Amino acid sequence: MSVKTRSRNLLWTSGLLVLIIAKGQVFAEDSTSSSAVNKPNILYIMSDDHAAHAISAYGGRLAEVAPTPNIDRLAKEGALFQNAFCTNSICSPSRACVLTGQYDHINGAFDLGGKVDPGKQMLAIQMGKAGYQTAMIGKWHLKSEPADFDYYCVLPGQGKYHSPEFRVRGDQEWGKNTVQYEGQHSTDAITDITIEWLQEGRDQEKPFFLMHHYKAPHDYFDNAERYESYLADVAIPEPETLWTRDPKFGSLATRGAYNELVPHIGTSIGGRNPRRSYLQDLPTLYPAEFPLNFDPANHTAEENTRLAYNAYLKKYLRCVKGIDDNLGRLFAHLEKTGELDNTIIIYTGDQGFMLGEHDYQDKRWMYEESQRMPFLVRYPAAIPAGQRLDSIIENVDYGPMMLDFAGADIPQDVQGRSFRKLLETGKEPADWKQEAYYRYWMHMAHHDNPGHVGIRTKTHKLIYFYGCNYDGGYQTPPGWELYDLVNDPFETQNLFADPEQQDLVQELKARLAATRLRVGDDGSHYPKCEAVLQEFWDYDAADQAKAKELSHQFLKRRLQELKEGKRNVRTIHGQ
C-alpha cells in the first residue's frame, strides 16, 4: 500500500521520540501489564543535531538572540543536565545507544550503516512487556523496520524537510507502505502525527511509551517558509575560536607537524578546507542569505567566513525555532487533555553540533560542542523543579532510566544505568560513573574527522586520535589531546605535552584503558585497528617521529585527491 495524501488519517504503526511519563504514580518494582493502568506515560523527544548551546536554558552566546522558551520550560519546571554526553557523535549510533542501552561496539551500530533489527529493539520490547503501548514517530535512521513498536510512522533514512514521506506498517513489505504530508514541513508533520496518535490512535486504557523524533535541525537546514524573516537582520554572535586558533589547540593528529594539515582535518565554515566547506555549499543552497551575484573572489577571507557563518546559523536557528514552536503546540495539547502534570517529558538531541567553534562544521568530534547533548526533563510528581545537575550521564543510560520509571525489567545485557534516583533527589549516588566514554569510528569519512577515542570527566578531557579505519587502513597521524575544562572550557590549549601535567596524563590514560575494558571495547572487534591504537599508545619519541611521517604521507595523498577532484573520498573499510 502506497498512499500519497495530505490527510492526517494515518496507519497507527509508527513511533515518536518524545519521552512522557504520565497517569499516576511510578512503581519501579511492578513490571506486569496487569498494573499498567497505574503507570506513567513516557514521552521522549529527540531532535537531530540540536546542540545544547543552541538552547537558551543552557546560556551561551545564542541565548538572547534565539531563545527557546518551550524547551526552557522543561528546565524551569524540571531538571537540566550539564554533563549529558553521547558515546559517538553521529546519528545512527546515538539512536542505537538509546534504543538498546548498549555501547556501539556491542550493539553493532557504530556508523551510518548501523541498524537495530526487530527482536533487538530493547526499549520498545521491555516497555511492551510492562504493559505499555509503544510508538515511534519521526526520524528513525536505523534501516531495519521498527517492528517491535506497536505503531510507527517514520521517515525513510534522513527523510525530507518538505512534503515528507513516512513509512508505516501495512500489507506490503517494510518500506513500501507509505503516507505523505504534501505541502508540509517535516517538523509540523511529525507534531501533527503525534498529536493525532495521542487523540485517536492509541489505546486510552494503556499507558504509552512514545518516541518523538524530529529531523530538524540536521543539515542542510531547510526551515518552514514562515521563518524566513526570523533573524534576517540580526548579526549572529560568533565564537572567538571561529577566527583564532590558539597555537596550543589540537595536536599532530589535527594540525600536522607544522600546521600543514590544518586545511585538511575537519570541514570548515569559511575557505580553510578546500575539499568541503559551507562557503562552497551554502551560496547555491541559500542564495538569499548572500549578496546578489555573490562571488567569493570579490570578498576577503574574513568577509566570506562571516557570510557563510551567518547563513549557516540563521538557517539552523530557524529550524530550531520551528521545533520550539511545535513543542509549545504539543505541550498545549497535553495540558488541554489533563496529561501535562502527569507526564514526564524529556527533551534531548541525538548529539551536539559544532556551530562555528574552531571553524568546524558538523559533529563527530569529541570536542565539547559535539559530544555534549542537551538533556532536560519535567515531571512535577517526582522531579524537583529548577535543578541543574552536573552528574555525568551517557545516552546508554537513557533507556534504563525510562524503564525504571515505567517499572519495567532492565535486561542483563544492558550496559547503561538508571539515574532515576538522581533525578528525584538531586544527589549523585556514591558509586556513580566519573567519566563518559567516547569513540568515533568513521575515520575521515564525509567531514575529515580522524578516528578517535577518549574519556570526559567533570574537569578534564583526554582524546586519543589513533587515526585509522576499522581495519587499520588509510592512516592519519596519531596524536593525544588533554584539556582542562575548568580553566579552558572552550578547549583551546592542549596540555598533553605539558611537563607539569604528566602525572594527570598517566592517570587519565589508565582510566581510559580501564573504561575501555568496563564497556567491553577491548579491541577484539577490530584487531587491526586495535594494533594501531596500541602502537602509538605510549607516544614516545619514536612514535611521534612515525606520526610525523604519516602526516607527510597523508598530506601527499590528500593533495592528489584534490587534484583529481575527489570531494568526498570514502575511507571506511580501507577504501
Contact 54, 353 (CB under 8 A): yes
Query: pLDDT at position 37, please?
Result: 58
3-state secondary structure of 509: helix
Q: What is the pLDDT of residues 21-80, one digit of tens each?
A: 333 333 333 334 434 557 899 999 999 999 999 999 999 999 999 999 999 999 999 999
Contact 139, 17 (CB under 8 A): yes
Section 245-252 average pLDDT: 96
Contact 242, 277 (CB under 8 A): no
Contact 110, 130 (CB under 8 A): no
Section 342-356 average pLDDT: 97
Section 287-309 average pLDDT: 97
- Per-chain mean pLDDT for the chain: 92
Section 549-557 average pLDDT: 96
Tallying the residues shown for the chain, one arrives at: 575
Instruction: Quote the percentage of the chain above a pLDDT of 70.
Output: 92
3-state secondary structure of 96: helix
pTM across the whole model: 0.92
List own/partner pairs for 295-302 with CB under 8 A and 24 or more apart: 296/271, 301/270, 301/271, 302/243
Count Cα atoms within 13 angstroms, Cβ side, for 49.
23
Question: Where residue 224 falls among pLDDT bands split at 50, 70, 90?
Answer: very high
**CA–CA gap between residue 27 and residue 498 (Å, rounded):** 52
Secondary structure string (H, E, C) spanning 453-478: EEEECCCEEEEEECCCCCCCCCCCCC
Q: What is the pLDDT of residues 115-157, one digit of tens each?
A: 999 999 999 999 999 999 999 999 999 999 999 999 999 999 9
**CA–CA gap between residue 411 and residue 171 (Å, rounded):** 32
Furthest-apart CA atoms within the chain: distance in Å? 71
**CA–CA gap between residue 89 and residue 105 (Å, rounded):** 14
Query: pLDDT at position 474, please?
Result: 85
Task: With CA atoms as reference, report the closest residue to 400 among 383, 375, 419.
Answer: 419
Neighbours of 420 (CB within 10 A): 18
Q: What is the pLDDT of residues 413-427, one digit of tens each?
A: 999 999 999 999 999
Instruction: Quote the percentage of the chain above a pLDDT of 90.
Output: 89
**CA–CA gap between residue 428 and residue 433 (Å, rounded):** 9
Which amino acid is residue 424, in one-letter code? E
Between the CA of residue 293 and those of 222, 313, 315, 356, what are the distances in Å? 21, 21, 20, 25
Neighbours of 59 (CB within 10 A): 11
Question: Which parts of 391-501 fold into alpha helices (H)?
Answer: 398-406, 420-425
What domains are there in the chain, each with its CATH number?
A: 33-223+314-425 (3.40.720.10), 436-574 (3.30.1120.10)
- Between 343 and 392, the more confident residue is 392
**CA–CA gap between residue 179 and residue 129 (Å, rounded):** 29
* pLDDT over 50 (residue 90): yes
Cα–chain center distance at 209: 21
Q: What is the pLDDT of residues 383-398, one digit of tens each?
A: 999 999 999 999 999 9
**CA–CA gap between residue 104 and residue 40 (Å, rounded):** 29
Cell of 329: 503546540
Q: What is the pLDDT of residues 511-538, one digit of tens each?
A: 999 999 999 999 998 999 999 999 999 9
In the beta sheet, which residues pair with residue 389?
81
- Between 320 and 474, the more confident residue is 320
What are the phi and psi torsion angles at 315 (to 5°)?
-65, -40
